[in-house]
Amino acid sequence: MPHLIDEAETLLRERGFKVTPQRTLLLQVMAGQPVYLDADEIYGLAYTQDASVSLATVYRTLSLFAELGIVTKRYIEPEHRREVFRLSEGPEQHYLTCVRCGKRVLIHADLLNRMARELVRRKNVSVTGACACFTGYCPECTGDLRRGGELPDHTDGAR
């Protein structure tokens, strides 16, 4: 989506920031990988195209992009060790991480949006952002475990 990149660069200039080769490169890298990546992964991808980029610039750029709304910053691993980023395009993504095989199951935003609306109604708050991380078993592992009798037929488990 070169469109997204152009928009981001226009936004940068409008706000008085400069469009540097590093910034363009990071936009390109992220546009080619529309999933959440951590700073080091983004740095790695960028590095293969330009070995002169530095990790510090990656962090600074991602931070600026997050402020401008160009990227969305999240924490999705169960251990939340690292920040992850992706271009802010399309509906938000949430994940369930399988504790057995490590696979991530994408959870579309509508469920969380419904929850947010309910929250607004019940608590009279407003919601500007949400981060939901589930742990559990992916469909395959759930099937395996049920067949093995290690899981009941229905589990929600979220205390």
Partner DNA sequence: ATTACTGCAAAGGCTTTGCATTGTA
Partner DNA sequence: TACAATGCAAAGCCTTTGCAGTAAT
Name the residues that contact a copy of itself, by CB under 8 A: 72, 75, 78, 80, 91-92, 96, 98-99, 105, 107, 109, 111-120, 122-139, 142-143, 145, 151, 154-159
Residue nearer to DNA on the CB measure, 65 or 137:
65
Residue nearer to DNA on the CB measure, 22 or 113:
22
Angle at 83 between CA 129 and CA 42, to 5 degrees: 120
Decide: is 39 part of the binding site for DNA (CB under 7 A). Answer: yes
Smallest separation, CB 91 to DNA (Å): 23
Q: Which residues contact 104 (CB under 8 A, 6 or more apart)?
A: 76, 95, 96, 97, 98
Residue 38's binding partner out of DNA, a copy of itself, none, with CB under 5 to 8 Å set by partner kind = DNA
Decide: is 48 part of the binding site for DNA (CB under 7 A). Answer: no
Angle at 54 between CA 48 and CA 59, to 5 degrees: 110
Indicate the SS3 state at residue 148: coil
- Of 94, 89, 57, 91, give the one whose Cα is nearest residue 70: 89
